Amino acid sequence: MKQTLYTFIVLLFSASGPVWAQFNPNPLSGTPLQKAQLIALTNGTYTELVQSWNGSYQNSSKRTVSTDAHGNLLLNNSWYFMSGNWVTQSWQNGTTTYNGSGKEQTIWSKGTSVDTAHFAVKWIYQIGYDGSGKMIYYNHADSFYTGTTLDQTTVQVDSFYYNTAGKITRIDTYTKGTSGNYTLNWTAKITYDANNNPTDYDYALTANNDYAVASRAKFTWDAQNRMTSFRSFPAYMYLTYKDSVYEQKSQYFYYDGSGNLSMVVDSQYSGTGLLPFATYRNFLFSSGNLMRYSSENIQYGFTDSVLYYRSATGFPDSIQYYRSIGSGFNYIGHVLYTTQPNTPTAIATVTNTLPTTHSYPNPATETITVVSGVSGSYQLLTLMGTEVLSGKLEEGKTDLNVAPVKRGLYLLVSETNGQVSVQKILLQ
C-alpha cells in the first residue's frame, strides 16, 4: 500500500544486487540552473522547495509529503509559483488504521483526479488476512466527484492467491452490481520460474466468463537471479480483439564480469515497432552512500547524469541531476528527501499500540458516545471527506449529538496523542 518514490533506482538495485565499487563523486561541474532544498522536516514529514535560476534563484514549485510510522500516506500536496503567489497544483490526504498486530485495517484517501475541481476518493474499509498474516482480500469503494457532486462510485473486492513460496499468483477483482451481487470483472495472473522470479504478468478483463488481456509484462532472469529483460505489452482495443497486445517498451540489462550492472538498453514503440530510445550506463557505486548513472538519449542527442545519495541507514535521501548537450555537464537540479526514514524500532512501537478510542452505538440514531483514555479531538466526515462535525474529546466519555445530521454512512476520525483512528459509522 505504500508509495515508493524511487521506483527506477529500486529496480536497478534489485537487478544489480548489493555489490558496490569505488567511485570519485566529483566528475561533474557547471552552472546550477535549478535547486531544491528541504525547508521543513519533522518525523515522517518533509517539505521540498524548488527554485530556478533566472539571474537569481526564484520560487518554482514546492511539495509537502507526510507519512505515518508505517510509511503509509497522510498527505501529498504540491504547489507552483505564479505571479507572486503559490497556486495549488494537486493534493492528496490519507488515513490508515491498524489492528493490534500492526497490520493495515482500513485505508482512506482523497485527492485531485484531473484538476483541483475533480476529486477521487478511495476507501479500503475491510482487509482480511490468513493465519500466516498474508492479505487474502480487501473491500474498497472508489468514488469520483466534480466539486461536491458524485459522478461515479464502484464497490469492489480484491481476492489474493499465493503459491507455496508465499508469492502472489492471482488477484481477482469482483464488482458489486445494482442488485447487490458481486461479479468477477478483472484478473491479474503472475507466473514464476523455478527460483520464484516473476516471468509473466497478465491483467485481463474477465467479465461474462471472458478473458481479454488489457496489459502484459514479461521478465527474464539469469542463473544468478538478476533481471536480464523487462518487456511491456499494452492491448490494442482489447474489448474488440482478444490478445491484441503490442510491445510498447523493453529494457535489457547487461552485467560485467564481476556481476555489476553495466548497461541498460531502453527501447520504445514508435508507431511501427520498437526503436532504441536511450541507454543507461556508467553505473558506479561508492562504498556506502552514492550511486551514479548516465543516460544517452538516442533520439534527441543529449546525455543525463544522475547521482543518488543514500543515508547511513541505506535509504535514498537526495538526487542530483546533470545534463550535457554538446560538451560538458550542467547541473540542473538537486532534490532532497527526508533523512529520517522509518526504522524497525518506530514500527514496533506502533504495532504494539492498540487504538485509544472506541465509540458506540453503531448504527446510531441521535447520539454517539466516544470513549477515550486521554483527551483529543474528533471529526465526523462524509465519505468524500467533507467535515460534518468536529470538536474536542474529553478523557473518558464524550457524547456527540448526531440527530441533525443527514442519515447515511460516515467516517469518525479520532486523534489522541498523535495517533489517528478511523471508524465507519452508520446513521439511521
Output helix, strand, coil percentages for the chain, rounded to the nearest 5: 5, 60, 35
Instruction: Answer yes or no: do 374 and 390 share one domain.
Output: yes
- Written as tens digits, the pLDDT of the chain (428 aa) is 543 322 232 223 223 222 222 222 233 344 445 555 544 455 567 677 777 666 666 778 888 888 888 888 888 888 888 888 888 889 899 999 998 888 999 999 999 877 778 889 999 988 999 989 999 999 999 998 888 888 888 899 999 999 999 999 999 999 988 888 889 989 999 999 999 999 999 998 887 777 788 889 999 999 999 999 999 998 865 555 556 678 889 999 998 888 888 888 889 888 778 888 888 887 766 555 566 667 777 766 667 777 766 665 555 566 666 666 555 556 565 555 543 333 222 222 222 223 356 677 878 888 888 877 678 888 887 765 677 898 888 887 888 999 999 888 777 877 776 556 666 777 88
Question: Is 198 domain-assigned?
Answer: yes
Task: Report the relative pairing of strands 45-53 and 212-221 from DSSP bridges.
Answer: unpaired
Q: Tell me if 408 is assigned to some domain.
A: yes
Do 218 and 274 lie in one domain? The reply is yes
Together in a domain, 374 and 287: no
The Cα–Cα gap between 254 and 171 comes to: 32
Please tell me the predicted confidence (pLDDT) of residue 30.
Answer: 44
In this structure, the chain runs to a length of 428
- Is residue 279 located within the same domain as residue 417? no
Q: Give the residues across from 97 on adjacent strands.
A: 106
Query: Same domain, yes or no, for 170 and 58?
Result: yes
Note whether 226 and 16 are within 8 A (CB).
yes
In this prediction, residue 231 carries a pLDDT of 94
Whether 287 and 406 map to the same domain: the answer is no
DSSP-derived pairing of the beta strands 274-285 and 135-146: unpaired
Considering the domain architecture, whether residues 345 and 359 belong to the same structural domain is answered as no
Same domain, 79 and 117: yes
Grid coordinates given for 264: 541498460
Residue 223 DSSP SS3 = coil
- Contact, 306 vs 285, CB < 8 A? no
The pLDDT of residue 137 is: 93
Whether 373 is covered by a domain: the verdict is yes
CB 72 within 8 A of CB 104: yes
Residue 323 CB partners (closer than 8 Å, separation 6+): 302, 303, 304, 305, 329, 330, 332
Burial (0-12, 13-18, 19+ Cβ within 10 Å), 36: buried
Contact of 285 with 21, CB cutoff 8 Å: yes
C-alpha cell at 278: 536511450
245 & 296 share domain: yes
Same-domain pairing of 14 and 31: yes
Report the C-alpha gap between 90 and 216 in whole angstroms: 30
> Residue 67 corresponds to which cell in the numbers above?
507519512
- Domain holding 220, by residue range, is 7-350
- Domain assignment present for residue 305? The answer is yes
In a domain, residue 2? The reply is no
Cα 283 from chain centroid (whole Å): 26
Q: What is the distance between the alpha carbons of residues 190 and 173, in angstroms, rounded to a whole number?
A: 15
Residue 422: CA count within 13 A, CB half-sphere = 23
pLDDT at 21: 21
Give the Cβ contact number of residue 342 at 10 Å. 19
What's the CATH code of the domain at 394?
2.60.40.3080
The rounded Cα 149 to chain-centroid distance in angstroms is 27
Domain edge (last residue) among 317, 350, 383? 350
Q: Is residue 239 classed exposed, middle or buried when 0-12, 13-18 and 19+ CB atoms within 10 A define those classes?
A: exposed
Domain count, the chain: 2
321, 350, 379: which is the final residue of a domain?
350
Whether 244 and 281 share a structural domain:
yes
Other residues' Cβ atoms within 10 Å of the Cβ of residue 300: 8
DSSP structural state of residue 208 = G
* Nearest in space to 25 (alpha carbons), one of 327, 280, 310, 339: 310
The rounded distance, in Å, linking the Cα atoms of 423 and 428 is 16
Distance CA 420, CA 415 (A): 4
Q: Give Dmax over CA atoms of the chain in angstroms.
A: 74
Q: Is residue 301 part of a domain?
A: yes
For residue 298, tell me if it sits in a domain: yes
Query: Among 297, 327, 350, which residue terminates a domain?
Result: 350
Indicate if 265 and 370 belong to the same structural domain. no
* Distance (Å, whole) CA 404 – CA 385: 18
Q: What does the alpha-carbon distance between residue 401 and residue 366 come to, in Å, rounded to a whole number?
A: 6
CA 58-63-64 angle, 5° bins: 135
Dig out the grid coordinates for 156 from the structure. Answer: 469492489
Task: Evaluate whether 159 touches 172 at the Cβ level (below 8 Å).
Answer: yes
Cell triple for residue 34? 535549478
Report which residue type is found at 140.
H
Ramachandran angles phi, psi of 3, nearest 5°: -95, 130
1 occurs within a structural domain: no
